[in-house]
Amino acid sequence: MVRDPEDLARLHFVNSLFAQVTGSDLYLANQIKEAIAFSLSELEQQTTAHPELATKYDAAFANAAARLLEKLFHQKPDHGFFHWDAARTLESATPLFARTELMIGLKSLARFRSSTLLVTNLRPALLPPEKRKTERRQREYEDTLAFIRDLAASRTSASAELQLIFV
């Protein structure tokens, strides 16, 4: 069976995101990917008819996977989970708002010995697909990545384990 590159990328994305569940079993990861795709079947049909909607489908796929991951972690009372969507508002990805929103999440995770901070839509928020990837935009994106990593490291206890995931 020949897979298209986007489908293969989604499979690796799901396998990485759900590694605790799949144990790197690609068959199980494919089942999770197919379940997410099934929930987005109407949007997938629209994307087939209108290829320009592909970025919208990718964002919807990532958000559906994030919701599923959130449900998984909420079943673990000893593991903290916080999801920050950088594209929630137009201002979310700016340094001031990002810091405020991430601090809320890091404070909620502080009581857990093991936790996950999921950051979604940072790349599309700072490097919109419909706009040119200028050097300035690329630098802002890289600076924001470094800022989030540094903030998470400085606001997490040395005895705590924080898994930081960028999607």
Q: Which of 29, 45, 75 is the last residue of a domain?
A: 75
Report whether pLDDT(5) > 60. Answer: yes
pLDDT of amino acid 104: 94
Average pLDDT rounded to a whole number, residues 9-33: 84
* Same domain, residue pair 68 and 107: no
Query: What residues make up the domain containing 82?
Result: 77-167
Compute the mean pLDDT over every residue in the chain, rounded to the nearest whole number: 85
Task: Output 135 or 97, whichever has higher pLDDT.
Answer: 135
Task: Give me the residues paired with residue 118 across strands.
Answer: 83, 165
Listed in sequence order, the residues at least 6 apart from 63 whose beta carbon sits closer than 8 Å to its beta carbon are: 85, 120, 121
pLDDT of amino acid 148: 94
pLDDT of amino acid 53: 65
Looking only at Cα atoms, what is the longest distance across the chain?
51
Q: In whole angstroms, what is the distance from residue 11 CA to residue 30 CA? A: 6
How many domains does the structure of the chain reveal?
Answer: 2
Structure tokens at 81: 């989970």
Average pLDDT rounded to a whole number, residues 134-154: 93
